[in-house]
Structure 1
Amino acid sequence: MSSDETNTDHPPQAKKSQRIYLVPFPKFIFMYPTLLISLLAWAVLAIKGFKTVNPDDSLPVMMTGIFLGVLALNTFVIVFDFPRATSLTLIFILTTLALGGWMAVSMKPNLLPAVESWVMALRPAANSTFFGCISVAMLLMYVAVFVSVRMNYWELSNNELLHHHGILSDLKRYPAPQLRVDKEINDVFEFILLGAGRLILHPAGETRAIVLDNILFVGNKEKLLTQALGSIKVKIGNDSA
């Protein structure tokens, strides 16, 4: 047999197509700072033996205050959307309020001690059992979230876009060639927390766009989409207030 003859017994394997999974999450996914603080408070108070507390105990009051502050900020982030223009407006408002407070204290020195005494009189206190219950409840909700997203996600290959949905994993197919993708960062704080954003898919031949909210690490997903589909149109940001 000639050495130039091609061996056809073992044909070269086809290159495995790249698959990208797009999973839209509910907004509860952004509550993880509250969960982390709750777990920390639970561990600290359990180690220190604070099964029962009163407002005179400094450590439970401090941990409860931190928890309530993080919970308030976390809830504020998921309830309202903050595009970049709105976020800048919020920063200007907070700066104005801070300057106004400083001027009020400068003009009325007795105002600060009065406010300080009122704040110090607020001494919320929770024991380790409270934080344990909050932590377990939130962990169970996170488990439910990760189970639910297994029943609704999108899979992209070089040839087709697949929508998996339902308990029995029903499947709907869309053509991937000439797929156009828009990326929007419609909430600055959600992007800071988990790199989340919105992807808008425009399959060829479809009159309605597919909107996927709360895609985690959307910048990385956009890069993978670019590699898989080649040149795609990307729209970054929605600065409308």
Structure 2
Amino acid sequence: MSTDAKNPESPVSTKPRSSGEKGIKIFMWPKVIYIFPSAIVALFCALGMYMLREKLYDPSEPHEHGVVQKAVADPNAPATTTTTTTTAPGTPAPITHRERFNTPQNLLGVLFLTVLAFNLVVMGLDFPRFELIGIILAILFGTFFILWLGAFFDLDLLRPINAMLAEIYVFANAGFYLMYALVVLTVLVIVYITRWLDYWEVLPNEILHHHGPLSDLERFPTMNLKFDKEIPDVLEFMMLGAGRLVLRVPNVDKALILDNVLFINSKEEALKRLMSRLDVRITTDKDEPIL
């Protein structure tokens, strides 16, 4: 007679759960994060202006560098003095506005303002892919048309552009650029910390919405969940892979819209892997789950 008997209690599985079973955390970021390129450029400009510490003046006009002030007594008024200025030897002569535009301090200022303007445009406007393509084509067509007019009528169309650029002269010292970068960095750190005040977590059986300083919780079922990925702004997608997730939960009137999700392609793939599995397990005596 066989004495072999099966153990009625199955051993507990020690296999770690996969990352998909732990859930997928999805954060919605504010648009202020797209200002980080200007902070990087500000650090570069701060380094450049630190190397140009004696260039904080307008070189097209007489400046205090190289000007010597002398106090000369007035013979008719012994109690008062008059001040005259003389230019010290070796003082550079004023330059033209066109040469002034090409000075390093001005080019650094123009670079910083250009990147800052680009960041503000990205934050303030949405550029869908077809709209962006249309804008690029319109700019290219306009440039070609202007060049054609200049060639056909033998016009120097670059002269007014050069004259306008020659009037631009912007600069700041290294401390300004450094403080700007520190302020932006502080804001980004605050945003990174406070992201835990409002985020979503997708589990195999439910969707959790954590929000509020006391971590208020909302629960939604994942059964028959459908989701869509959208790219409302091509520039934001190019910078940080940002996009929008739309979760459609059964028996919920409104779709759950998650805006400005970074690296959305990786989130989409993780959601596909999570939704393709069914979190119902049948355990045999060998504790091998059958999905």
Scaled to the shorter chain, the TM-score interval is 0.7 to 0.9
Q: Which residue of 2 aligns with 1:74?
A: 119
Deviations 1:122-166 (A, max 9, x none): 121111111112111111211221122110000111111111111
Residues in 2 aligned to 1:7 and 1:50: alpha-carbon distance in whole angstroms: 82
Residues in 2 aligned to 1:230 and 1:92: alpha-carbon distance in whole angstroms: 41
Q: 1:33 aligns with which of 12, 34, 37?
A: 37
Q: Which residue of 2 aligns with 1:13?
A: 14
Q: Which residue of 1 aligns with 2:261?
A: 215
1:29 aligned partner, one-letter code: I
> Relative to 1, partners in 2 of residues 1:131 and 1:113: Cα closer, same or farther, differing over 3 Å?
same
Q: 2:186 aligns with which of 137, 140, 164?
A: 140
% identity of equivalent residues: 29
- Secondary structure of the residue that 2:192 maps to in structure 1? helix
Residues in 1 aligned to 2:111 and 2:25: alpha-carbon distance in whole angstroms: 36
Q: Which residue of 1 aligns with 2:196?
A: 150
The answer as to whether partners of 1:33 and 1:70 remain within 8 angstroms in 2 is yes
The answer as to whether partners of 1:55 and 1:125 remain within 8 angstroms in 2 is no
- Secondary structure of the residue that 2:29 maps to in structure 1? coil
TM (normalized to structure 1)?
Answer: 0.86
The answer as to whether partners of 2:244 and 2:264 remain within 8 angstroms in 1 is yes
2:43 aligned partner, one-letter code: L
The answer as to whether partners of 2:52 and 2:105 remain within 8 angstroms in 1 is no
Larger Rg: 2
Q: CA RMSD in A?
A: 2.4
The answer as to whether partners of 2:55 and 2:105 remain within 8 angstroms in 1 is no
Q: Which residue of 2 aligns with 1:239?
A: none
Shift of residue 202 of structure 1? 1.3
Shift of residue 49 of structure 1? 4.9
- Secondary structure of the residue that 2:22 maps to in structure 1? coil
2:184 aligned partner, one-letter code: M
Matched residue count: 230
Q: 1:224 aligns with which of 244, 267, 270?
A: 270
Deviations 1:80-114 (A, max 9, x none): 11111211210121112211221243234333234
Residues in 1 aligned to 2:39 and 2:30: alpha-carbon distance in whole angstroms: 16
> Relative to 1, partners in 2 of residues 1:120 and 1:36: Cα closer, same or farther, differing over 3 Å?
same
Residues in 1 aligned to 2:7 and 2:108: alpha-carbon distance in whole angstroms: 73
Residues in 2 aligned to 1:101 and 1:39: alpha-carbon distance in whole angstroms: 37
- Structure 1 gaps of 5+ residues are 232-241
Residues in 2 aligned to 1:213 and 1:73: alpha-carbon distance in whole angstroms: 21
Residues in 1 aligned to 2:194 and 2:54: alpha-carbon distance in whole angstroms: 35
The answer as to whether partners of 1:18 and 1:228 remain within 8 angstroms in 2 is no
Residue 125 in 1 paired to residue 128 in 2? no
- Secondary structure of the residue that 1:150 maps to in structure 2? helix
Residues in 2 aligned to 1:51 and 1:20: alpha-carbon distance in whole angstroms: 54
TM (normalized to structure 2)?
Answer: 0.72
Which one has a larger percent helix, Structure 1 or Structure 2? 1
Which one has a larger percent strand, Structure 1 or Structure 2? 2
The answer as to whether partners of 1:53 and 1:125 remain within 8 angstroms in 2 is yes
